[in-house]
Chains A and B, each alone.
Chain A
Amino acid sequence: MSELHLPWLELAVLIPLVGSLWVAFLRSHTVARAHSIVFCVLALLCAVGEWIDFSTLHSFEAHDHWDVLASTFHRDVLVVDELSAPLLPLGAMLYLMTVLTTLSTKVNRFSFGWTLFSESILLATLSCREPWAIIALMSVATVPPLLEMRFRKHSTRFYCLHMGLFIALMVAGQALVPAGASALNPPVIAGCLLTAGALLRSGITPLHCWMTDLFEKATFGTALLFVTPMTGAYAVMRLVLPIAPDWALQWIAIVSLFTSVYAAGMALVQHEARRFFCYVFLSHSSLVLVGLEMVTPLGLAGALCVWLSVGISLLGFGLTLRSVEARTGRLSLDSFHGLYEHAQVLAGLFLLTGLASIGFPGTIGFVGTELLVEGAVEVYPLVGLAVVLAAMLNGVAVVLAYFRVFTGTRHQASVSLHCRLSERIAILVLTVLILGGGLYPQPGAASRYHAAVALMEHRGDTTSSQHVVDDAGQSSIAPQQPTSQAGLLAKTHPH
């Protein structure tokens, strides 16, 4: 296996973990916020370093230089590959932006220590390919939101019920996976249990209500950070994709598609901003799953693109709502709020991120959505139509929310509600990413297609022909040869 030039992965996981301990001892919330920003910046730098380093290796997977965990356990615990390489910086950025935009009105109720702990767990999950370790980490990740809800004296029964079921399904499913299981020799019961667990964590209908419950009861920041990294989709890719047959994956895609349309419709009838955001997010994250399960290079590449674009755009969308909430309290969507004159930059970002999430031309979501629809149409033409329908409903919902929050009346404020410097920085970064990725999409699309082809080859899923990926990231069609996964990878990736 290739080796990174520095221990990026271990550093990315350790820095926020150390930070969480450090911050826990600080008494001042304001100081804790400032220190948390520093730890988050360092973690992001390590994650970006990992991505850049990995991309120079032209390899399918790589592990750390001076890998302490590998030398201790004699296994490659932390490994980065084509799938997870960009997800790590995305995850680190999610946390940095959330901490950065936490205003002083909210610092008392937002736990920076637990946030850094969650970041460490997330980055470890995304760096991990061992099934049991992934399940363990995802189980641990359910704890901080639980503690926060308990601390806020909210009922946690519904959340515990679902997360307990999720952990039980994953553990039972993984325990039943026999050695040598593959897509050609699928363990049906184990696959069903793992699929059910991962779909529950992804919030697929009818197992999605825990997500709206979480947004009701936890702080917006915690709920946002628990769902936006889409670890459920990651679990599907790591635990289900390698052992599930094509027909099962396509059924998952159809269930996800139903969720996407259903959630888009539900977003239109919501009375409150957080629930609205939750459904919009659910609709988009289900679209990612649709593409992931299409088992075509184009659909998979579209899903990987949408994964990144939705992560960035809905992060911005959620953070904007959170910033508005920090100024006005929970937002009802039954009435107009007219905040435009007081928060013009936030209004602009709200619209921009919302439009990016629906794949508006010129934004980061456009090409991903096109690829996804194109890939879906290849498998089932009607699926492509449903994706367009979901995008249409989401578009209507996003602009409806914009009008409700920022227009329709004139808000009278006696204090300044304008953006703070930290918010401005976050807005600028997100805008550059959204417009930059939209106006110059080729590198992102090519990289995700390359990853999609490599993942499909890794799964050993090519049928009549296989894609050969060369070092420059170009792919070509070659006659199929009956090789093992290792042999295939060795052949296509000489590193």
Chain B
Amino acid sequence: MNINTVYQILGLIVVASPAVLLAVLGLPALLGKPLTESAQGHFTRAAVLSGLVAALVVLGMMLTFDSRHVSIELGNWVEIEPEHFHFHMKFVFDRLSVPFAILSFVLCGTVGAFASNYLHRESGYQRFFLLYAVFLLGMVVSSLAGTIETLFFGWELVGLSSALLVAFFHERPGPVRNGHRIWSVYRVADAAFLIAALTLHHLTGAGDFDGLMGTGPWPEGVAAIDSRHALIVGLLLLVAAAGKSGMVPFSGWLPRAMEGPTPSSAVFYGALSVHLGTYLLLRVSPMLEVSLPLSIAVVALGLVSAVCGTLASRVQSDVKNALAFSSLTQVGIITVEIGLGFRYLALIHMIGHACLRTLQLLRSPSVLKDFQLLENAVGEHLTASPGFWNSLLSRRHLDFLYRFSLERGYLDSLLNEYVVRPFVAVFRWCDRQERRWTGFAGGGESRESDRIAVYGDSLEDVL
């Protein structure tokens, strides 16, 4: 057995372990025979541990044998050779993907252990762990993706599981509305990602990152497209990243995401999901060097997001929201680092921030107790001292900043006013015209569905 075979086996274990977990949790649910809580916990632990150990062994071998780039080829998932259409399944272990995959396993494992107690006897326990398995699979596939199609595959799984977990407490309308809002933003991001992937296919003939970013290992690759095309594709990917990481102008979904249970808030929106956009930018970072305007756009977006995040985090009255906007600040700074070319710094920042934020969010239900413990230890009440800006800005400016921060930069209002409302108004007008036409040509009232009572004809009424 040579070293490449060992890499192949370990690589497959890393990818297959969350896939097997999803199958094990999903099939019994489909058949209406869900597993017990303890069985789900055991399977989850086994899957996370096997994936983590395999990833750590891969890391150890790469360090030992000084391998900087290991490819796991699974062949073409779909292939139409005459049209040169390939859906290539390939996973890559390099200095970017291995740390991120290990981070995903560590944080998901921690949160899985926390959630099995936190959600004990909760009616949605099974649903949580099923979505958890989808999320873990999505994160691992996204982290290790060697082609843009594979990354899109994982990206979509992460998006779906995140939106459904926000709506976890689905007997209340609030979480459900927030889950749908997040899903809508993700769909915009996904559309931008898909268009970027298609554009890449047309420009390079394949979506392979190796071909796109040159043959050098990350981060030394050189992009194989010209600056104009890099700008177009890069801007589309920037929109996708902004949507996924909750950057401006999509940052309105971050506080909404906190409606989910604390474990999912911690691992998804505080730690992993929120960094997936920046991970994407890091993955295609050689493209930034080809186009200066693209780098400037990345830095600008990061700066604006960081400023918005830090302002909004200071006026939140809820600890989870404050942490969410603090995450946005750090994500903005990481984006600036990527735009400036500090790739290793961005990677280290991302890992450190994800770990810290997970810890903070998992402690957030006990924040009052922690605060009291701190005050007892200090021996007095903690008071907030006037900040640096209070001495520099007038009262009027401070009030404006406060309102601006409290309204989260008016971003949600702007999106509602200038995107959602006109869209709905146009289609409602079309709906009214259709009603008039069907009424006129049909010779009478055409919409009997308008008179439907919610449960007017229910089985229970009949009984």
Contact A370 B29 (CB under 8 A): no
Say whether, besides A262-B430, A269-B431, A408-B170, A298 and B454 are in contact (CB < 8 Å): no
Contact A400 B30 (CB under 8 A): no
Contact B434 A209 (CB under 8 A): yes
Contact A449 B153 (CB under 8 A): no
Residue of A nearest to B149 (CB): A370
Minimum CB–CB distance for B146 against chain A, Å:
16
The answer, yes or no, to whether B172 is at the interface (CB within 8 Å) is yes
State which of B78, B180, B446 has its C-beta within 8 Å of the C-beta of A400.
B180
Q: Which of B434-448 contact A (CB under 8 A)?
A: 434, 437-438, 441-444, 446-448
The answer, yes or no, to whether A178 is at the interface (CB within 8 Å) is no
Contact A329 B180 (CB under 8 A): no
Given the complex of chains A and B, what is the CA–CA distance between A158 and B115 in angstroms? 56
Q: Which residues of B contact A266 (CB under 8 A)?
A: 427, 430-431
Given the complex of chains A and B, what is the CA–CA distance between A198 and B172 in angstroms? 46
The answer, yes or no, to whether A403 is at the interface (CB within 8 Å) is yes
Contact B77 A441 (CB under 8 A): yes
State which of A371, A388, A453 has its C-beta within 8 Å of the C-beta of B85.
A371
Provide the main secondary structure of the chain A interface. helix
Q: Which of B404-463 contact A (CB under 8 A)?
A: 423-424, 426-428, 430-431, 434, 437-438, 441-444, 446-450, 452-463
Q: Which residues of A contact B77 (CB under 8 A)?
A: 441-442
Residue count of chain A within 8 Å CB distance of chain B? 83
Contact B459 A374 (CB under 8 A): no
The answer, yes or no, to whether A275 is at the interface (CB within 8 Å) is yes
Q: Which residues of B contact A337 (CB under 8 A)?
A: 454
Residue of B nearest to A385 (CB): B195
Q: Which of A265, A275, A373, A408 has most B Cβ within 10 Å? A: A408
Provide the main secondary structure of the chain B interface. helix
Say whether, besides A209-B434, A361-B152, A407-B171, A336 and B460 are in contact (CB < 8 Å): no
Minimum CB–CB distance for B153 against chain A, Å:
4
Contact A362 B153 (CB under 8 A): yes
Indicate with 1 or 0, residue by residue over A412-451, a CB within 8 angstroms of chain B CB atoms: 0111010100001000100100000000011001100100
Q: Which of B78-92 contact A (CB under 8 A)?
A: 78-83, 85, 87
Q: Which of B87, B179, B424, B450 has most A Cβ within 10 Å? A: B87
State which of B29, B31, B446, B454 has its C-beta within 8 Å of the C-beta of A216.
B446
Q: Tally of A-B residue pairs with Cβ under 8 A?
A: 190
Indicate with 1 or 0, residue by residue over A310-347, a CB within 8 angstroms of chain B CB atoms: 00000000000000001111111001111011000100
Indicate with 1 or 0, residue by residue over A341-375, a CB within 8 angstroms of chain B CB atoms: 10001001000000100001110000100110110
Q: Which of A105, A332, A413, A474 has most B Cβ within 10 Å? A: A332
Q: Which residues of B contact A370 (CB under 8 A)?
A: 78, 87
Residue of A nearest to B201 (CB): A374
| Interface size bracket, B side | 35 or more
Stretch at the interface among A47-55, A287-295, A389-397: A389-397
Minimum CB–CB distance for B254 against chain A, Å:
19
Given the complex of chains A and B, what is the CA–CA distance between A157 and B444 in angstroms? 10
The answer, yes or no, to whether B7 is at the interface (CB within 8 Å) is no
Contact B167 A407 (CB under 8 A): yes
Please give me the 8 A-B residue pairs with the lowest Cβ-Cβ distance, nearest first: A329-B457, A407-B170, A158-B442, A272-B449, A392-B191, A361-B153, A410-B171, A330-B452
Which of A's residues lie within 8 Å of B, judged by CB? 105, 155, 157-158, 161, 209, 212-213, 216-217, 262, 265-266, 268-272, 274-275, 297-298, 301, 326-332, 335-338, 340-341, 345, 348, 355, 360-362, 367, 370-371, 373-374, 377, 384-385, 388-389, 391-392, 395-396, 399-400, 403, 406-410, 413-415, 417, 419, 424, 428, 431, 441-442, 445-446, 449, 453, 467, 474-477
List 4 extra interface pairs beyond A157-B441, A330-B456, CB under 8 A.
Answer: A105-B462, A265-B423, A360-B156, A361-B156
